[in-house]
Structure 1
Amino acid sequence: MSTDADNRGRTMPGTHHSAGAGAAAADQALLPAVAAAVQAAGARMLQDFSYDARPQDRTAVAQAIQAGDAVSLQVLRDALLAARPGAGWVEDELESGDLPEGEWWICDPVEGAINHVHGMTNWCVTATLVRDNVPVVTAVSQPTTGNLYTAVRGGGAHLDGVRLRPSAKTALDAAYVSTGQAAPGEGSETHRRIGQSVTAMLADALLVCVAVPATSQLVHVAAGRMDAFWQHSQVRSGLVPGALLVSEAGGTVTDTHGRPWTLASPDFLAAAPGIHQAAVDILSTIA
């Protein structure tokens, strides 16, 4: 991906080199189909959204999420596989780790489905094409606001066609930062790291938010509204859209120790370039 030289930091693999001209042009040409797919799936899920939704127990929550995912996935799968017939499809949205070489679609049919089924507006539909474990095209639809976030490797990140830039802040004591769970039931060690990282950040950052889903936080980092997002553990579908958006906007994407982030990394950090190192200095102390 290409970013302005004065904004470029240590980013995920491949982000410091422009994509080949042929691949970049093909990826750019693919973007309208990806955008149309997430918008169509989002519009369908908006039909089923209700501010009055109040599931009564865990079983009802799970059933509502599964039903919504199935509806949205049908729209996404048909459209995306038609747009890129040779690409693989990742079946499990909660998977993590590297993929086999080649092209793969990583989608979240309703990211933030827990919000969707509880009548809250903070949810989205995402689709990302990953090539040799590097995200190259992404689109994120936020149906309740009508916003569309897009990014192409080497082509920048945009909100409804307007170029995104990260925050220009350089001091953590002015920073609005965020974290959250990758998935329910991650285990006591991950929960401990989340808690310790929040406590550590509370001492230095201006404001610390804990929320889901990850993409809804990461689009704010890409747009400069929020200054950093980190996550202990990872789910691919929750991070690849935002990783590409933040990097292409000019932000810095690494793990919490400042090393280049990959799909196999155990944790994740995306930040405005001016506060990235300060965030690493804090988060790298969490064992």
Structure 2
Amino acid sequence: MSEVQSYMDFVLPLVLESGKELLTVKNIISEAKNGNDWDVVTIYDRKIENLLIDKIKMKYKDHKFIGEEESAAKNTISTLTDSPTWIIDPIDGTANFVKQMPITCISIGLTINREQVLGLIYNPYMDELFTALRGQGAYLNGNRITTSGETKINKCIFNYELSLAAHDGRLRELYMSRLTALIDVVSGIRSYGSAALGLCYVACGRIDAYQCDGLYPWDAAAGTLIVREAGGYVIDSSGKPFDLMNPNFLATSTETLSQQFMSIERSVDVSRLNINEKTV
């Protein structure tokens, strides 16, 4: 058994246990104090993240962690090093979680020598477990998965996380200019509200492409590896190589499809920047 496989075997039961914890939440709003349902989300975020980190630390004392709640507590994101590092999102799709939409998951990625080597995403509501080890393929509930293999943008179902543009003027301009260019080109547009599951849906062929900007490492650490291991293609939204610690990404079923998106978007981005320069 490989070292990374032993890590997967250890953490998998912990994630399944954490998933059961999510299923105990029946009505977040009724649990909320002072009408603040996000207080309850934070409680469950911390509870699950602490459960995972504490048990992994007991087994692997030299491992490091980058987690959503851990980073919030320190008000900074730890630097990624060569040490084995678990990158954890205890509840991805928090708005869905609040509304009890079954598009919510627990996401864990592992890096060694700054390379992604393990990805595990579990949606307890649908009982769907997506896993991948570097160089060994991607799986859904133990069955091998591959992307759709779609190569034509006009036949593409495209997931674009528009909600992220709501509170950031820079992202709003970026998202809307690209959306305007793509809406008449792609076959259909979706927005699921979970970065991790959106990536999994590319990996298993439910959608053909997914683009997202303005994320954090824990949003993409597991899912981008799963896409690649399923035969998909992941790059930075700018067309540069994907950077896990600054994860703006375009994930597609094929490199050919990625190139078509980039051709359209680069033209749009250049036009947008030229307009901005003229108005300054």
TM-score range, shorter chain: 0.7 to 0.9
| 2:149 pairs with one of 168, 181, 184 | 168
SS at match of 2:149: coil
Residue 26, structure 1, aligned to residue 8, structure 2: no
The CA distance in 1 between the partners of 2:76 and 2:125, in whole Å, is: 27
* TM-score between both structures, scaled by the size of structure 2: 0.85
The CA distance in 2 between the partners of 1:207 and 1:97, in whole Å, is: 38
| 1:86 pairs with one of 62, 76, 92 | 62
Instruction: Classify 1:198/1:133 alpha carbon distance in 2 versus 1 (closer, same or farther; 3 Å).
Output: farther
Gaps of 5+ in 2: 274-280
Higher share of residues assigned helix = 2
Alignment map for 1:220-235 (pairs within 5 Å) = 220-235=201-216
Instruction: Classify 1:184/1:108 alpha carbon distance in 2 versus 1 (closer, same or farther; 3 Å).
Output: farther
Greater CA deviation, 60-69 or 137-146? Answer: 60-69
Alignment map for 1:244-263 (pairs within 5 Å) = 244-263=225-244
Map of 2:53 onto structure 1: 77
The CA distance in 2 between the partners of 1:138 and 1:168, in whole Å, is: 21
Greater CA deviation, 147-156 or 196-205? Answer: 196-205
**Could you tell me the percent identity over the aligned residues?**
24
Contact 1:96 1:263 in 2 (8 A): no
Give how far 1:154 is off. Answer: 1.2
Map of 1:277 onto structure 2: 259
Give how far 1:232 is off. Answer: 1.7
Map of 1:122 onto structure 2: 103
SS at match of 1:40: helix
Q: Considering only aligned residues, what root-mean-square deviation do their CA atoms show, in Å?
A: 2.6
CA displacement 1:124-180 (0-9 Å, x = unmatched): 011111223322112111100111110111111110111110112111111001121
Contact 2:165 2:172 in 1 (8 A): no
The CA distance in 1 between the partners of 2:202 and 2:99, in whole Å, is: 25
* TM-score between both structures, scaled by the size of structure 1: 0.83
Map of 1:46 onto structure 2: 23
Give how far 1:61 is off. Answer: 2.9
Give how far 1:267 is off. Answer: 1.9
Structure number with greater Rg is: 2
Contact 1:218 1:246 in 2 (8 A): yes
Contact 2:132 2:225 in 1 (8 A): yes
| Higher normalized contact order (CA 8 Å, seq sep 6+, divided by chain length) | 1
SS at match of 2:203: helix
Contact 1:221 1:229 in 2 (8 A): yes
Instruction: Classify 1:147/1:228 alpha carbon distance in 2 versus 1 (closer, same or farther; 3 Å).
Output: same
Amino acid at match of 1:37: L
Instruction: Classify 1:154/1:95 alpha carbon distance in 2 versus 1 (closer, same or farther; 3 Å).
Output: farther
The CA distance in 1 between the partners of 2:82 and 2:37, in whole Å, is: 36
Contact 1:179 1:231 in 2 (8 A): yes
Aligned residue pairs total 263
SS at match of 1:137: strand
Which 4+ residue blocks in structure 1 deviate beyond 6 angstroms? Answer: 54-59, 93-97
Instruction: Classify 1:59/1:190 alpha carbon distance in 2 versus 1 (closer, same or farther; 3 Å).
Output: farther
Give how far 1:40 is off. Answer: 0.9
